[in-house]
Structure 1
Amino acid sequence: MRISVGAPILTINHGSTFMVTDLDGQINPDGHLGIFSDDTRFLSYYACYADGHSWLRLSSTTTTYYAARVYLRNPEFTSRDGTIPENSLLLND
């Protein structure tokens, strides 16, 4: 017997509407992720950036069937106001 496991994802739903994201809480337009209702995908891309830089995931989980919690931290980057140290910002998505 062969067992295969797909990519890790977060899935939440409310009735016939559901959202499927990667573990960072983002939706890549090249995949099968998105916000769906009655088998129609209404959103196929969602991403969040800090001054153009991708966030780094600390942890993520579904807390109930209708909610998820994602904790993200920043990488080190240089903004107009100077260098922002790694892990100095936290985003709870």
Structure 2
Amino acid sequence: MIHFIVWIVISGIAGFIASKIINKTGSGLFMDIILGIVGGFVGGFIVSHVPALANIGGQGGSGGLIIEAIVAMLGAMLVIFLWNLLFRSNK
């Protein structure tokens, strides 16, 4: 349970950072965190279902938290990019 809570916090932070990387202004703090959590799920799903990526991070070694943060960040960037494509108006 603690691991899940830590993962949610990491994903939320990753979403905030990813939003600043993708579109500089973000989509608002709450939406950035939500998109980061969704991105964490997406990144985890992709990593666990792509055979070439399935063993990334080893067997939960010391790099596990760092790898999870990177996966969450990349997943968040993908989700935020797609969100912007679908829902942002071109101004």
TM norm. shorter chain > 0.5: no
TM, length-normalised to structure 1: 0.32
| Larger helix fraction of residues | 2
User: Larger C-alpha radius of gyration, 1 or 2?
Assistant: 1
Greater relative CO (CA pairs within 8 A, separation 6+): 2
TM, length-normalised to structure 2: 0.33
| Larger strand fraction of residues | 1
